[in-house]
Amino acid sequence: MKRSALGVIAAFSMTAAAPLWAAPVTIAHQQGEVTLPKAPQSVVVLDWANVDTLDALGVPIAGVPGSNVPDYLSKFAGDDYAKLGSLQEPDVEGIAALNPDLVIVAARSRRSQPQLNGIVPTVDMSIDNADFIASVKANILEYGEIFGRGDRAREMVADLDAKVERLRAAAQGKGTAMTLVTSGNKLGVYGAESRTSWLQREVGFPTVTNAVDDRSDRGDAASFEFILEANPDWLFVVDRDAGVGQESGEAARALLDNELVRQTSAWTKDQVVYLDPQRAYVVMNGYQALSDLLDQVHDAVSDKG
Amino acid sequence: MRLVLAIAVTALLAVISLFVGVTEITPADLLAGRIDDRQWQVLMAARVPRTLALILAGCATAVAGLVMQIIVRNRFVEPSTAGTVEAAGLGLLVVTLFAPGMPLMGKMLVAAAFALAGTALFLRILRMVPLRDVLMVPLIGIMLGGVIGAGTTFFAYRFDLLPSLGAWSMGDFSGILRGRYELLWIGGALTLAAYAAADRLTVAGMGKDFTTNLGLGYRPTMALALVIVALVSAVVLVSVGMIPFLGLIVPNIVSLIVGDNMRRAVPWVAVSGAGFVLACDIVGRTIRAPYEIPISTTLGVVGSVIFLFLLLRTRHHAPA
Amino acid sequence: MHRPDARARIVLAVLAVLAAAAIVAFMTLGVRGNWGFVLGFRGTKVLGLILVAWSIALSTVLFQTVTGNRILTPSIMGFDALFILIRTGVTFFFGFGALALMSPKVQFGAEVLVMTGFAVFLFQWLFLRAQRSLHLMVLVGIVFGVLFRNLAGFMQRLMDPVQFQTLQDMFFASFSRIDPTLLGVSTVIVGAASLVTWRIAHSFDVLMLGREQAISLGVPYRRRVATILAIVAVLVSVATALVGPVTFFGLLVVSLAHVLCGSGRHRHVLPAAVLLGIICLVGGQTLLERVFAFDTALSIIIEFLGGLVFILLLVRGAAR
């Protein structure tokens, strides 16, 4: 780690050296590794998916982002939690004033890792979309290690495994699936490398097409013909506008309700699943979000005996 | 006769557009009656509407550009270099903020009202400025558009609507289906209106005194022109998003071919506009098939290159 | 000691006091926690903002010197869009892997080099080939900017998502997100460019007189113009890399500097523009961050005001 001018100043501002009896903790993360003098007590998390996971682990969180709070984590909007800037631009001064033992960044806040790490130990816990569920589980186990909650972490991982297995079994022989994202009156297609790749890779829905990649938030622009031609048995739809705090999921439904999509196997069998937009789009790699999504998809799939 | 040729080329592009897409449909099969129900439905529900939408939007946008050029008497204006399109976008944002549930027609009318106000403001500024140079006009228009655009961005940013704003303004025909493009027929009707009023518009472009001396109503004609421009901008924006540069390059290229008589120019502009949009959309459909590249991106590249060519073609000297 | 000189000095003194006040306010308002850390942290931010203000003001003044007018700026001529295009192109053609292996500083250096070569070539071609009118140049610049942006967008559509994510932020300017890792290298680059500027500063006032005059007074015109364009390209690259594209900021501060100083001499206008830039950026950030608690809206406000200034300049006929 290069010591920038910031780092030097931060070093001066740090509190006294760690007590001798604490065992140091080393955390490997996406951008290197960080060694803490002892198990962290106060944690700032600048990514909602990781807030979700740590919350499920029962780890107390000192500070969270001040924007885009998902509904199911609304308790973090309260005054008990420090609000530390937006996802793209963390409030560095606030974090420094709080002086937590550890800062966790991921996804949209990952770019601030080098800067924050000069002030307080900061780890980038972004996940790998291509190996989605495995990454989520690895993160949970790692958090279990760091915070001394290994039992609860293993319990959560076992729970995820069970849900994935249950869904995989339910999805067997249920046909192909395609994930769409709708924004405005346009369609994007999510593919095997995207944030919803787990539906194909880990759950085993056969994909209808191999050549899709994920254009960040829009997916690849596609026409309704494309859906008709691919003729998936299942459509998983993410209403992007609803995911970022716009209208309800009605918009996506209205957009898809047309004579071409109505021909698809998914529509005729009533197998169009509107994934919970926040969970699928904003916090899809949080434990609770993923767990809920697995439940949602499982409920949809198992309804169709 | 050259016009017949242009129509033939555009018609050919329209035919190609019918057969380009994810679903395999070939002309031979169609003629031999070898297409199944599903292919037939794709043809009627997606390909034909899309092709029609392209033709209508292309005609209307290009002709609106021409109308604007006639009444401002400047070769380098069009709705997107006069603040019209940005004003329509602001209108759309306002509707989204205050009445998100409004039907499409209502949204379109609000956008049109804003577009009208924006265009009127532009003309107002032009009247205040001593125009020593033809290029001043588009410059002022572009800047006015920029200022209105900055305002729109600011509110979109405050209310977390930036992604939606991006989605509207991206011109894109991929979502066009039967039942989702019919507003564009208004654009087609306005194209005809522009053709019918071509001579009056030309006279009005000569200035108020000249028009009045000929015994024609100056104000009604100008109002008609503004309504055509504003409505076309709003209809196209609401249906497919922004189509940049088209209203500027097509009339200019046409004037190189057939000269400046508006009555003669309108059919040419309409046909070429349609052909141009068709060509760009076909390219956007094929480059990354089965996915699409939105027309605003393809046309933005091609259109700006042609615009540069038009600008640099003449050795335009500064007035002393 | 003429009167304009005296006025300019007073203006400069006042501006210097205001700039210092803005910096002090930025550094000290609303400090929580450890003063040592906060001062250091805000110090780097201020350094970044000053660097940007310096780069944009200097590049704008130099560009206006070369082009001999007060309305053209590098940003309006599409320089920062060009930088975005180059950044996208480098990522597109050399892949993300290659870039990830290079340190960001090396990559940044390479981008600046490519940008400089390209910009000098392009603008030499535009300016020295023919005596073109000013409005034409502005319009050509704007359209070039649109073209560069669209090309960059086009490439981004063909990229894989990981690359796309890293480039997406480049289209939006933000003054609160300056990357501290680039500050060191940027300071060195800007310092070097400023040194070169200093060495040739004596000829600036002469260059303002126009090409023939400058040549008859013994200035090696072509070479000098090429040098200045290179400096401008380097400065714009640095500013764009640090905060993103800001179209009107340069125009805003330089126009204000001309108005306040009442003299066109570089020794007055240059420092005044830099100081105004600092007041705008540092003062603006202070107001927005500490007083209004907006986050990234400063760039939008600057665009809005700058656009108005531009229209005003056009209307008042500064663009002769």
pLDDT-based confidence at residue B105 (cuts at 50, 70, 90) = confident
In tens, the pLDDT along B119-136 reads 999 988 888 777 667 777
CB contact under 8 A, C317 and B128: no
> Is it the case that residue B278 has pLDDT exceeding 70?
yes
Q: Residue B243 and residue B222: Cα distance in Å, rounded?
A: 24
Contact C21, C242 (CB under 8 A): no
Mean of pLDDT values over C125-137: 67
Q: Between chain A and chain B, how many beta carbons pairs sit less than 8 Å apart?
A: 82
C140 Cβ contact partners less than 8 Å away, ≥ 6 residues apart: B308, B311, B312, C126
Contact B243, B297 (CB under 8 A): no
Residues β-bridged to residue B170: B242
Q: Quick one: pLDDT at residue B165?
A: 76
Per DSSP bridges, beta strands A177-183 and A186-190 are: antiparallel
pLDDT-based confidence at residue C204 (cuts at 50, 70, 90) = confident
CB contact under 8 A, A89 and C180: no
Using CA coordinates, name the residue in chain B closest to C127. Answer: B312
CB contact under 8 A, A97 and C44: no
Binding partners of B (≥3 Cβ pairs within 8 A): A, C
Residue A184 C-alpha, separation from nearest chain B C-alpha, in angstroms: 6
In tens, the pLDDT along B49-63 reads 999 999 999 999 999
Q: Quick one: pLDDT at residue A244?
A: 53
Question: Chain B contact for C13, CB < 8 A?
Answer: no
Percentage of chain B exceeding pLDDT 70: 96
Least confident of A289-293, B90-94, C96-100: C96-100
Q: Quick one: pLDDT at residue B317?
A: 43
Q: Collapsing DSSP states into helix, strand and coil, what is residue C314?
A: helix
In tens, the pLDDT along B288-320 reads 777 888 888 889 889 889 888 888 876 544 433
> Is it the case that residue A245 has pLDDT exceeding 60?
no
Averaged confidence pLDDT in chain A: 80
pLDDT-based confidence at residue C6 (cuts at 50, 70, 90) = confident
Per DSSP bridges, beta strands A102-105 and A82-83 are: unpaired
The pTM assigned to this predicted structure is: 0.82
Using CA coordinates, name the residue in chain B closest to C320. Answer: B318
Q: Quick one: pLDDT at residue A161?
A: 93
Using CA coordinates, name the residue in chain B closest to C309. Answer: B143
Which residue in the block uniquely carries the two structure tokens 């071919």?
Answer: B257
Q: Which residues of C touch B288 (CB under 8 A)?
A: 157-158
Question: Chain C contact for B143, CB < 8 A?
Answer: yes
A251 Cβ contact partners less than 8 Å away, ≥ 6 residues apart: A182, A239, A241, A242
Of B284 and B133, the structure prediction assigns the larger pLDDT to B284
Residue A180 C-alpha, separation from nearest chain B C-alpha, in angstroms: 13
In tens, the pLDDT along C243-287 reads 888 878 898 899 889 888 877 788 888 999 999 999 999 998 888
Residue B313 C-alpha, separation from nearest chain C C-alpha, in angstroms: 11
Residue A50 C-alpha, separation from nearest chain B C-alpha, in angstroms: 23
> Is it the case that residue C172 has pLDDT exceeding 60?
yes
Q: Quick one: pLDDT at residue C171?
A: 65
In tens, the pLDDT along A40-95 reads 999 999 999 999 999 999 999 999 988 778 888 989 988 889 888 877 778 888 88
Question: Chain A contact for C31, CB < 8 A?
Answer: yes
Q: Which residues of C touch A115 (CB under 8 A)?
A: 180
> Is it the case that residue C155 has pLDDT exceeding 60?
yes
Nearest to C161 among A13, A97, A216 (CB): A216
Q: Which of B309, B206, B298 is nearest to B248 (CA)?
A: B309
Question: Chain A contact for B33, CB < 8 A?
Answer: no
Length of chain A: 305
Q: Quick one: pLDDT at residue C21?
A: 92
Contact C260, C272 (CB under 8 A): yes
Burial class (CB in 10 A: 0-12, 13-18, 19+), C258: buried
CB contact under 8 A, C146 and B300: yes
Angle between helices A287-303 and A150-171 (to 10 degrees): 20
pLDDT-based confidence at residue C57 (cuts at 50, 70, 90) = very high
Q: Quick one: pLDDT at residue A192?
A: 60
